[in-house]
Amino acid sequence: MRGARLLRVLLGGIAGWLLWLGLALGAQAAPQQLTQARVQVEIDGRLQSADATLPYVWDQWHKGRQGHAVFELSMPLAEVPAEPVLLYFTRLGNAYEVRLNGNLLDSQGRLARFDGADHGMVPRLMTIPAGVLQRDNRLEIRIRADRARRAGVASPWVGTRAEILPLYESDYRQRVTGTQVAVIMGLLVGTVALALWWTQVDPTQPAGRRREPLYLFAAVAEYMWSLRVGNVLFAQPPLPRFWWDIVFTEAIGVWIAAMLMFSALAVDWHGRFSRAALERALKLLLVLGIFCAVGAQWGQLWLLTLWYAGLGVVSLCFVAEYSWAALRRGTRLHRLIAAALVFNVCVGVRDWAVFRLQMAHGGNSLMRYSSLLFGLLLIYIVLRRFREAGAKVRELLATMEQQVAAKEQALQASYAQVEQLAREQERVNERTRILRDLHDGVGAHISAAIRQLESGKARHDDVLLTLRDSLDQIKLSIDAMHLPAGDVTGLLANLRYRLEPKLSAAGIALHWDVDWIAPLARLDAAGMRHLQYMVFESLSNVLQHARASELRIAAKAGGTRVCIRIEDNGQGFDTARPRRNGLLSLQDRARAIGATLGIESIAGLTVVEITLG
């Protein structure tokens, strides 16, 4: 019993505390909203007065007209606050002037200039100084109202800073800060899409189809939407009002057209509502939108409402078929785009009903944020395509790596085969050289010895000399194999070593005038053999035919040129006569090593000059 009584006391105490808290909270002051006003309207110089309930939507009461209005509101206070209070309008203008008890609180724009700057698109917050307030206050609001521009006066809120500032900041974040974010995102995504459209070129496609139209439609859509929602951010448009309203109206039509085309191209979708029919319908609506925007400026707002409805019908037909196809057999991307389209249609219907049918004054459009979904989808598409392209590149690289490895193996086998062929060719060339040297040198001498023996007239010493020349030729061929490439001095010294005894036996005095010559890099082993044969052939001619008593061998280097001279004082010969095989062979070998061969001969002096340079 004692426990039950204690429980009832505790519950009673808690209930009493909650009741006291509720009464305390209820006793706190709430922000005051002013809804009743006396309005005096001036249109074309005519005045009319009436009582009005705020919000006052100018286009609803004075369609297609422009004018001025003065609103008088009574603002009684139970107590005069000692601190300043705030006055807040969700929408006011196009241009306005606000006074309290005759004191100016705020003004924006020129009241006398129609179609001037529009200051009614952002929420307005004003501070009422404490000394201005009385128990009975008179609030006077003057506005300039332009036709078809959502002019009017929203119901103002009056209260303390703690009461009013959250309302203002919430609306400001949605209408201004949110718009700034949407515009910046739209411009960034549009610029990226335009850059992709410009840079991503497929050279395999015919001219006019090498760039991806998907990115172009995305760029156009993002730019148009940024233009549409960005109108809130500046009071004075960059164009005259008449043309700006047309551009502003057409922007949403272009955005819808570009978004629908983007959606179709993103998944390469072809429905019964064909892409060509969609393009024709959208082009017709865009042309009609110009006339509807002009008509709306002259009071025919129903034209603009009907035009928006036409855009909605076309969009609904497309979205319905597109979404049905996505649900039945669509890919994940197809379904994501369909979801974004359905969401935008729902938001668009809501805004159309609120702002075109109900003619609500104030409030925030939700479509300024819904377009961000398409920007996110574009980023997703780009990332997915780059991922797929990366996978294809990796697959291609792997395939290429396999192919390169196979080619390397084939190349190595081919290189080994070529190397073997090169060695075989080298051996063949060496055999060919040896055969040529034997044929030109040893063969010629042996042939000469055979002819001497067959004639029966040759002396024993002559035949022996010929055979010794043949032996010398063989020894010189062997010496040529061991000569360093380009060593002209060593080559001449070998010839002197081999032939000087024969020269002495033949009674020919040798005069040696050979300088040391640096090795010639351009003279390889084959060139050394050609040069050896030329010098040997020249000396053999002196031994066999010149009947000389003196022989001079000279070799000099001058710059990059090397000159070898072989002079004898023999009987000489006529250089104009057709040359024999020996001299012709000298010329062929000189051309082979890029040398110049000069031969001069008179009685008592024959000169063979070989110039390497």
Buried b (16+ CB within 10 A) or exposed e, 22-54: eeeeeeeeebeebeebebebeeeeeeeeeebeb
Residue keyed to tokens 């000399």: 465
- 20 backbone dihedrals φ, ψ, rounded to 5°: -65, -40
Q: pLDDT at position 583, please?
A: 76
Range list for CATH 3.30.565.10 in the chain: 481-612
d(CA 185, CA 172): 18
For residue 533, the model assigns a pLDDT of 84
Model confidence pLDDT, tens digit, residues 23-54: 333 334 468 899 999 999 999 889 999 999 99
Per-residue pLDDT at 375: 82
Instruction: Centre a 10 Å sphere on the Cβ of residue 572 and count the other Cβ atoms it contains.
Output: 18
| 46-53: strand order across its sheet | 46-53, 36-43, 67-76, 136-145, 95-100, 103-108
Residues forming beta bridges with residue 550, ordered by sequence position: 509
- The residue among 61, 52, 59, 50 whose CA lies nearest residue 34 is 52
CA distance 445 to 470: 5
Nearest to 316 by CA among 349, 352, 275, 365: 349
Enumerate residues 6+ apart whose C-beta is below 8 A from 464. Answer: none
**Which of the residues in the chain have pLDDT under 50?**
1-29
Distance CA 331, CA 268 (A): 11
Strand-pairing partners, residue 36, are 53
Q: For the chain, where do the domains classified as CATH 2.60.120.260 start and end?
A: 32-159
Give residue-wise pLDDT tens across range 403-455.
998 988 888 888 888 888 877 877 777 666 666 666 665 666 676 667 656 66
| Bridge partners (DSSP) listed for residue 43 | 46
Distance CA 174, CA 165 (A): 14
The topology under which CATH files domain 32-159 is Jelly Rolls (2.60.120)
Residues 6+ positions from 455 with CB-CB distance below 8 Å: none
Q: Which option is the CATH number for 481-612: 3.40.50.9100, 3.30.565.10, 3.30.450.20, 3.40.630.10?
A: 3.30.565.10
Distance CA 611, CA 139 (A): 118
Cis peptide leading into residue 156 (ω within 30°): no
pTM: 0.60
Strands in 509-514's sheet, in edge-to-edge order, are 509-514, 550-558, 561-568, 605-612, 595-602
